[in-house]
């Protein structure tokens, strides 16, 4: 399949297909190859216009989308992104990844993605409310608890989910768990904001444990993180809790670096300021405690070539945020573990660098291990699935219950990726760490493919 006009989707497709093709999957089970052209086309794409009124009374028009990619395992599930960069290629890549990510959680969820090119930054609460109501007026007829359950994403936080849920309820005269990421007093789940970041760390914890034969943990590890949204914040807080040191965070305008380690208080301060759309540059300039902790700001930069010696790198910002050259810089900096909190956070060139280094160490402990986003960051959608379950039962679980279920899901996901890679690896270097890219892609794909065969989508 060649889609040159959709570069992000093409990249996601190529990554999956190359993993499958370069393994022994099609040799052992040739029937799976016929699934590829079917699963790679969305079951449905919905496009619509969103017209709303700004605070000056002017008419505004945005594009709205929902890509309902695959429902073999359950209702379509995936976020709604509100960002000027949103287009069909990006949403198709995200929806495609979501199919296999959701499969890796072990929960009954299909894959989808949606959103709009609306930018909430700089808009008033009333403007955001009017947009969300207009957006949901168009989308509400296409979603439902048994059909399609969207969630938040970039630009879509608790405020936006609240406005959209209210608009859906009015339009459909139905209270149902049709959106996840809801408020805790009206159907939301504890641990949902933390889930992607926490889940990422639980996954990397297993990587460290496996590679070191149980001899190492996060304690004492230097960890570079990009981004400063929910995923980055809660990943950073969990690293600090486990005894690691967070040396970087970033946003679209620049990066902060602290060789002494960014503190939990600083992370919490950044989280509060980001709700007001403040940049990292503005945040550290207004708080002397950052200077006291030797936090350096670098404008227009990503962290990877500036962090110095590190053990773990966690891209948590957006797609393609680690280039091939930056991947080489991470290798040179001694980084041993790379795991994506963002979706498709590394370019194809970067992944090739990481994968080439996987078997190059003098021992397994010296090798580099990379985990793709569809596995490492599936904790967020996993807890969305747990929110759906709580809504269906009309109950709310405790933080401890949800966190325990999340950790179990991430441990099972790691084991599934590891064991699947071992089972289908075509590599001759049996001393190398198994490829988690191959394992994640095959494990997710096989689960979806088996359901498609059973339901007659492929024959």
Residue numbers annotated as active site = 113
**C-alpha gyration radius of the chain:** 21
Q: Is 263 annotated as a binding residue?
A: no
Q: Is 384 annotated as a binding residue?
A: yes
The number of CA neighbours under 13 Å toward the Cβ of 120 is 25
Tokens 């194809």 appear where?
348
Q: Is 152 annotated as a binding residue?
A: yes
Closest CA to 62 of 117, 115, 127, 121: 117
Contact between residue 77 and residue 382 where contact means Cβ atoms under 8 Å apart: no
Q: Is 77 annotated as a binding residue?
A: yes
**30/13 Cα distance (integer angstroms):** 19
CA 25 to chain centre: 26
**426/429 Cα distance (integer angstroms):** 9
> Whole-angstrom distance between the N-terminal and C-terminal Cα of the chain?
20
**With the C-alpha atoms ordered 171, 175, 179, 184, is the resulting torsion angle positive or negative?**
positive
Q: Is 196 annotated as a binding residue?
A: yes
Tokens standing for residue 121? 């930054």
Q: Where are the beta strands (DSSP E) in 294-375?
A: 296-299, 312-314, 337-339, 369-371
Q: Where are the beta strands (DSSP E) in 128-253?
A: 148-151, 222-225, 245-251
Contact between residue 196 and residue 409 where contact means Cβ atoms under 8 Å apart: no
Residue 272 makes CB contacts below 8 A (sequence gap 6+) with none
Annotated binding residues for substrate, written as ranges, equal 77, 98, 101, 152, 384
Annotated binding residues, written as ranges, equal 77, 98, 101, 152, 196, 230, 384
Annotated binding residues for NAD(+), written as ranges, equal 196, 230
């Amino acid at each position: 399949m060649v889609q040159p006009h959709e570069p992000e989707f093409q990249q996601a497709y190529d990554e999956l297909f190359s993993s499958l093709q370069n393994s022994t999957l099609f040799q052992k089970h040739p029937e799976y190859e016929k699934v590829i052209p079917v699963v790679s086309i969305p079951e449905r794409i919905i496009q619509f216009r969103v017209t709303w009124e700004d605070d000056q009374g002017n008419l505004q028009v945005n594009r709205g989308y929902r890509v309902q990619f695959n429902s073999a395992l359950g209702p379509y599930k995936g976020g709604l992104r509100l960002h000027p960069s949103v287009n069909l290629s990006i949403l198709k890549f995200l929806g495609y990844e979501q199919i296999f990510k959701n499969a890796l959680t072990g929960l009954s969820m299909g894959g989808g993605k949606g959103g709009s090119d609306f930018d909430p930054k700089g808009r008033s609460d009333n403007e955001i409310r009017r947009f969300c109501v207009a957006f949901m007026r168009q989308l509400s007829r296409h979603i439902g608890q048994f059909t399609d359950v969207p969630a938040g994403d970039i630009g879509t936080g608790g405020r936006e989910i609240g406005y959209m849920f209210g608009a859906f309820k009015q339009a459909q005269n139905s209270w149902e768990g049709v959106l996840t990421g809801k408020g805790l007093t009206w159907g939301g789940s504890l641990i949902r904001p933390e889930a992607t970041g926490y889940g990422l760390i639980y996954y990397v914890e297993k990587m460290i444990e496996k590679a070191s034969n149980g001899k190492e943990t996060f304690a004492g590890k230097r960890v570079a993180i990009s981004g400063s949204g929910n995923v980055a914040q809660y990943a950073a807080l969990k690293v600090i809790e486990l005894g690691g040191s967070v040396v970087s965070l970033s946003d679209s305008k620049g990066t902060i670096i602290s060789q002494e380690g960014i503190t939990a208080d600083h992370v919490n301060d950044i989280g509060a300021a980001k709700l007001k759309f403040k940049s990292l540059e503005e945040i550290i300039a207004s708080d002397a405690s950052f200077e006291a902790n030797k936090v350096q700001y670098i404008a227009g930069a990503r962290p990877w070539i500036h962090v110095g010696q590190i053990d773990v790198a966690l891209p948590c910002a957006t797609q393609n945020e680690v280039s091939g050259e930056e991947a080489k810089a991470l290798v040179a900096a001694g980084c041993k573990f790379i795991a994506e909190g963002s979706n498709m956070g590394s370019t194809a060139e970067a992944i090739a660098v990481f994968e080439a280094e996987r078997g190059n160490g003098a021992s397994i402990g010296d090798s580099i291990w990379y985990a793709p986003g569809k596995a490492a960051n599936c904790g967020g959608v996993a807890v969305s699935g747990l929110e759906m379950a709580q809504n269906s039962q009309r109950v709310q679980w405790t933080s401890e219950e949800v966190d325990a279920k999340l950790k179990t899901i991430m441990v099972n996901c790691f084991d599934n990726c590891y064991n699947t890679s071992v089972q289908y690896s075509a590599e001759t270097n049996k001393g190398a760490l198994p490829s988690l890219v191959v394992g994640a892609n095959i494990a997710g794909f096989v689960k979806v493919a088996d359901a498609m065969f059973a339901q007659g989508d492929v024959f």
